[in-house]
Amino acid sequence: MQDHSLRYAGNRTGFLLIHGLGGTPVELRLVARAIHRSGYTVNCPQLAGHCGTEADLLATSWRDWVASVLAELDRMKESCDRIIVGGLSMGAVMAMHIAAERPADVAGLALYAPTLWYDGWSIPRYAFLLKWLINTPMGRRYSFAEREPYGIKDPRTRQVIMGAMSSGDSTQAGLLTTPSRALQQMWQLIALTRRQMPSIRCPALLVHPREDDIASLSNAFHIQRRLGGLVDAVVLDDSYHLVTIDQQRDIVVERSVALAARLEAAHEAENKTVLLRAVAAP
C-alpha cells in the first residue's frame, strides 16, 4: 500500500498528529502546514490499513494503528528534542494512549475533537445499540456511514469534501463507511485509554466544538476531568467535528503553537536553573 504520510521538517520541537478512524493524513494537512510555518516539525503518519479499501482496514487491528504511530515517534526522536503528540477524533484518543505508554517521549498533547463515544447531534439515536449487536450476524455486516454535514460547518469546504468522498479516492477523504469490526477495534482502544487517563501527566491542549455533530462536548468534559495533568480547554463556537478543516482551524493552529511555545519556554527555564545551580556549586 502506498504511503500517504505527511512530513514537514522544522526545528527540534515536533508535532506528531494522528488522523481519525477510516480517515487520512489529508484531514490534518491544513493545520500541519500552518504549524510548520511557525517553524515546527510536523509529521502526520498514515495509520496501518488506511488510505486503501475497506478490506485493507479490516486486515488491521488497533495495535497495528498504534504501531504506525510508535514507528513515527521513534523516527521523530532522531531530529526532535521534544514531541507533542496529537490527533483528530480517534487520533486524539490514540495520542493519549501513546502518552500513557511512552510518557518520557511525549512532552505534550494536542487533542482535537477527541471521540470516546458517538453522541453528536447527527448520530442516529439507535447507534448506542451497535455495541451490543456487533457480535450478531446483522451487527457484523453493519457499516457506519456518515451523513451530512460530514463534520464540516463551512458549506464550501463541505462541498469539496463531499466531492472527494464520492470520487472513491480514500487517500483524500477517507472511506465512505466504517465497518463494524473496525469500530470494535476502536472501542477496545478507547476502553484501555480511558483507564490510562489519570496516569497521563503531560500538559494537554483540548479543542472541541460546541456543536460537534459526531461527538458531543461531553467527550471533552470527561477527558478534562480524567487527565492527570494540566488541560488547556478551548470550545469552538463556529465549527463542527473536523476542526482541522473547518472554519475555525486558525484557532486550532494558534493554540497548538502556543502550547509548543510554553513547552519550549519551560525547557529553557529548566536549563537556566540547572546552569545556575552548577555555577553556584562549591
Active site members: 89, 212, 241
Grid cell in block for residue 2: 502506498
Q: Are 208 and 224 in contact (CB under 8 A)?
A: no
Q: Where are the beta strands (DSSP E) in the chain?
A: 6-8, 13-18, 41-44, 82-88, 108-112, 143-145, 177-179, 204-209, 231-236
**Which of 149, 153, 179 has its CA nearest to residue 165?**
149
Beta-carbon contacts of 116 under 8 Å, excluding residues fewer than 6 positions away, are 93, 190, 194, 215, 219, 222, 223
State the distance between the two ends of the chain, measured CA to CA, in whole angstroms: 61
- The CA–CA distances, whole Å, from 182 to 47, 171, 260, 270 equal 13, 18, 33, 43
Grid cell in block for residue 84: 507533542
